[in-house]
Structure 1
Amino acid sequence: MIINNSLDEVKKRENALSIIKEIVEDSGRNSLFDLTGLSGGFIASPSEISLLETYVGPAIFEEELQEVGRQHMGGEKILPLNRTSSGILATILALVSKDSNVVHYLAQLPAHPSIPRSCKLVGANYSETDVFKEFSIPENTSLVIVTGSTMDHKVIDEDEFRQVIDMAHEKGIPVMVDDASGARLRTVVFNQPKACDLGVDIAITSTDKLMPGPRGGLMAGSEDLIDKIKIKVNQFGLEAQPPLVLAMLNGIKSFNEENLINSFSRKEDLIELLNSKFDNFKTTPTGVMITPEGLANEINLNHNLSENDLAFVFSFILLKEYGIITIPAVSMPGASATIRFDLSTNDAFNMDLNDLCKKIESSFNKLQEVVINEDKCREIVFSF
């Protein structure tokens, strides 16, 4: 195997960032094509940047973020955080006691790793399922979690979503929704209500997913729970600093629903092109993807790489050869190794889909050439 542990994933990511830097310095930003759906951004005017002082920034921008955030997320109160994972951790620290149960329902396993890791940190018993008939809430449960849209953009069924909320509230248990991309994907593409409008107690989204905001977390929910969680956020330094608050504010203001809707239609053109060459690409709500298992099924040579290793090597070939950024190359430890080509990103808007298909095919052919040489694959991923 090439990637054996979290440290390998960190080193892999560091190499990807070095490659990105080299491409920008040699050929300019226009030579990169971020198709992760996580490209984010930092929208700010010079006059706004001049106000980004430690105390002046929050005083100026957090009040407006409350208003704009409630429009985007619903709920009574908004809490900006430095990461979505930070908000999940703070919620579990605030609401979950040792030896209590945390149960999680999502459309497709696995959950984001920050959830079980946070539960382990407080000594809670954690369980997750993607089979609705198997979902239950045992005694001594302190928190119910729902994922609105998984890491691979599998969206929860709205009826099941509502039933989980009702089951929890019948027992007086709060519900938190990990709505990282779902706050936009569910609502815009699948026409579902905002999580808070469905009655959940806490919802959190990632402000760089499917919108032009920074890598940060935005939480919404009932005022009393937000205040309780905010105590933990401040105790452990998990709050969003002034630059993030400003970028979140402007990212939400600049969010364009039409971009998601357009990508929903363009994906059909891309999948038709890819299906003429491959058997295992699938559509996502905003593009196409191939899972590590699907990629392995496309390979017709014997090799010693794991399915995830294949995805990592493929993602680095795409990056090095064509400047195409996909999640496996730049992801944090524990993230899904599924390769997504998200068409909702700024870089994707003007891409010729025939050209993109050719680059994907060429990169796959390169993968086929190197897959039998584990040392060469390791060199591609780590640049040894």
Structure 2
Amino acid sequence: MLEDPLNEVKRREHALRIIWERMEEHGRDGIYDLTGLSGGFPLEEEDMDLLETYVGPAIFEEKLQGAGREHMGGEMVAAFNRTSSAILSAVLALTEPGSTVFHYLPELPSHPSVPRSAQLASAGYHETEDFTENPPADTSLVVVTGSTMDHRVVEESDLVRVIEMAHDAGVPVLVDDASGARLRTVLFGQRRACDLGADLAVTSTDKLMHGPRGGLMAGRAELIEVVKSKAYQFGLEAQPPLIAAMARALENFEPSEIMDALKRKEEFLRDFRPGVEETPTGFMIRPSSVEGLNGSGYTEDEISTAISMLLLSEHGIVTIPAVGMPGASKTLRFDLAARDAGRLEVSSLQAAIHDAIEKLSGIIPDDEKMRRLILG
């Protein structure tokens, strides 16, 4: 059902309609966004009159440079309308047609933005979990994922090894640190990617922080300029409101909110063990580990999405399988560093998950009900 990209769009639009309906009935307090991607637009009143096409960049670009370099390291930063836009701009700018984009990850598969960018650049693509594997001689760009979509975090020693190996071959390194720029540094005590020698690093300003959905790239000034130039050609750069909100979010970033998630996670896991796997800032549930949902004929992605839709429609709990962009991981993950997690009692979350799984066991034998549940 979800292998069709059009159905992925229908699934997401159905979830957004459910959110709208719950908002109409319960207001914002009836929604609990546990995606870790809730983001925000933390503008000050004084910012509002400056969000103009040319005045905005003149004011907020300077603020972003200071806050961005403090957060990411590097010589310069640049803002993009999404992390995927930043990755596409870098791949288009730094690769030659026919060359290879070589991608290291702590766990496969990659976020689709990397292989799709390589395809658009007419470059070959290879991804691996083996951090000792040497890139081929025709490699034009090495990409390293700092933290996967399911929050598997790279070891700092592996990251350093790949950076040194690529530099010995004269190849630039881009670290896709979408959530890793905070997970790696705050929870795992690792250094910033640029401090480890990465030529470029990019993060999502809505992941584990209260910023807008956008991409912030940092790194060597000469490479940032080249990537920005490519972004301008295709309209991939961030616009003034996004830049302003990014700068404010970086200024307001509070690492203690991520640390608080550890306490919530420990409390949840004390009384809820079956089928649950820990993540750095919460937990995830794999359908294959849930009794009664196996052997149904549906894929794990479809079962995760069905549970996610029930959590949303019945309890107002937002998770990625329901609302994520097409191609995003369908792992049923609950991020307890999300701001809304502080409003949701652990016992209420436990009860909601049990309720959704129980309701799904009654729906899953009926193909038409499953289709309506997922696609509307």
Q: Structure 1 length normalisation: TM-score?
A: 0.96
Match runs of 1:122-141 below 5 Å:
122-133=121-132, 135-141=133-139
The counterpart of 1:205, out of the listed 203, 220, 225, is 203
Where does residue 191 of structure 2 map in the other structure?
193
Question: Following superposition of structure 1 onto structure 2, how do residues 19-58 of structure 1 map, counting pairs within 5 Å?
Answer: 19-58=18-57
Residues 60 and 79 of structure 1: CA distance in aligned 2, closer, same or farther (over 3 Å): same
Equivalent residue, structure 2, for 1:349: 342
**Count of residue pairs brought into register by the alignment:** 376
2:144 aligned counterpart, secondary structure: strand
The AA in structure 1 aligned to 2:300 is E
Does the CA-based 8 Å contact 1:212-1:251 persist in structure 2?
yes
DSSP 3-state at the match of 1:168: helix
- Equivalent residue for 2:230? 232
| SS of residue in 2 equivalent to 1:205 | strand
- The one-letter amino acid paired with 2:179 is S
Quickly say closer, same or farther: Cα 1:188–1:48, change in 2 above 3 A: same
- Per the TM alignment, residue 305 of structure 1 is displaced from its structure 2 partner at its CA by 1.3
Q: Which runs of 5+ in 2 are unaligned?
A: none
Q: Distance in 1 between matches of 2:309 and 2:343?
A: 23
TM-score for the superposition, normalised by structure 2: 0.98
Do the aligned partners of residues 300 and 325 (structure 1) sit closer, same or farther apart at CA in structure 2, a change above 3 Å counting?
Answer: closer
> 1:58-207 residue pairs with structure 2 within 5 A?
58-133=57-132, 135-207=133-205
The worse-fitting range, judged by mean Cα deviation, of 148-157 and 39-48 is: 39-48
What value does the CA root-mean-square deviation take over the aligned residues? Answer: 1.1
Indicate the SS of the match to 1:376. helix
Give the Cα–Cα distance (whole angstroms) in 2 for the partners of residues 220 and 271 of structure 1. Answer: 37
- For residue 272 of structure 2, give the secondary structure of its aligned residue in structure 1: helix
Query: Which residue in the other structure is 1:284 paired with?
Result: 279
1:48-86 Cα distance to aligned partner (Å, 9 max, x none): 112111111111111010000000000000100000000
SS in 2 for 1:132: coil
- Give distance in 2, aligned partners of 1:182 and 1:42: 21
Question: 2-side partners of 1:189 and 1:312: how far apart?
Answer: 28
Task: Tell whether the 8 Å contact from 1:305 to 1:374 is kept in structure 2 after alignment.
Answer: no
Contact 1:291–1:337 (Cα < 8 Å) also in 2: no
In the aligned structure 1, how far is the partner of 2:344 from the partner of 2:26? 18
Contact map agreement 2:287 2:294 (CA 8 A) in 1: no
Aligned residues of 2:287 and 2:293 also touching (Cα < 8 A): no
Question: Structure 2 CA distance, aligned partners of 1:246 and 1:38?
Answer: 18
User: Deviations 1:164-190 (Å, cap 9, x if unpaired)?
Assistant: 001001111100000000000000000
Check the 8 A contact 2:288/2:294 in 1, yes or no. Answer: no
By how many angstroms is 1:371 displaced?
Answer: 1.1
Task: State the partner residue of 1:372.
Answer: 365
**CA pair 300-232 structure 1, distance change in 2 beyond 3 A:** closer
Deviation at 1:303, TM superposition (A): 2.0
1:292 Cα deviation after fit? 4.5
- The worse-fitting range, judged by mean Cα deviation, of 365-374 and 72-81 is 365-374
**CA 1:300/1:91 → structure 2, altered by over 3 Å: closer, same or farther?**
closer
Contact 1:301/1:372, CA 8 A, preserved across alignment: no
Distance 1:15 1:372 in 2: 21
SS in 2 for 1:50: helix
Change (3 A) 1:137 1:300: closer
Residue deviations 1:20-65 (CA, integer Å, cap 9, x gap): 1111111100000000000000011222112111111111111010
* Separation in structure 1 between the aligned mates of residue 294 and residue 54 of structure 2, nearest angstrom: 59
The Cα of 1:302 is off from its aligned counterpart by 4.3
Contact 2:23 2:30 in 1 (8 A): yes
Cα deviation code 1:194-236 (max 9, x no counterpart) = 0000000000000000000000000000000000111101000
Shift of 1:132: 2.7
Query: Counterpart of 2:212?
Result: 214
Unmatched 5+ stretches in structure 1: none
